[in-house]
Structure 1
């Protein structure tokens, strides 16, 4: 599963074509990490760069591919809105654009980066974007970890 780098609007169009514009898909799970840490002697380590990264697994009701992973590196904004009770989590279409050096992904085609708010849409922006086929990761099983229900 090699990562495919998205560099420009041509690559964005290809990704949207390959994954059907995310139609009838869902955000299955995500994993967020930074380069910040505390070592064994309790010293803090930090990066001077944009060090927040996010991997997101999407599954959809079509094949070839039926699942993909997006890798956002150098995340600048991140906003997830869970579906309310008694509402589905189906994504019908998305916005994926490159604007002023940032990639923006949002769960609604009509969403605009300049109009972002902490409203009803899930969205993310980052300095770089990569994707890969994750069709072998279908189903309910978590791929980034597990829930410990103690």
Structure 2
């Protein structure tokens, strides 16, 4: 079995901890962003609070541009350097010094909204050319927390 097959199986097991609705929304969002960013490595963190899949030009977490995070009741698209992006329409949520987000109410279809696509384009443009456009990104399991909050709502 190839390493990528093993990582796909692990990701499927992480997703299975969620309700079917959240798992489906999360998987669809990750898949949709992977199609949009075929050069990006997908970095998986099964953390204490959430399952997060980062997207960036390599395996260094600091180089990631986006992440999709699954929580028990929703899925969120994070712009990991979103605080530096212009947002005249107030699409991005958050007040931290670096990260901004968009809660994906409708899952992956929200990623296709023109305003969300424009923000993704803006984030990519702000990175310059983040990766070799012909490079095929990899799925990498970066960490699995031994202790985790419940993945399904109480």
Tell me the TM-score range normalised by the shorter chain.
Answer: under 0.3
TM-score (norm 2): 0.26
Higher strand share: 1
Structure of higher CA gyration radius:
1
TM-score normalised over the length of structure 1: 0.26
More helix by share: 2
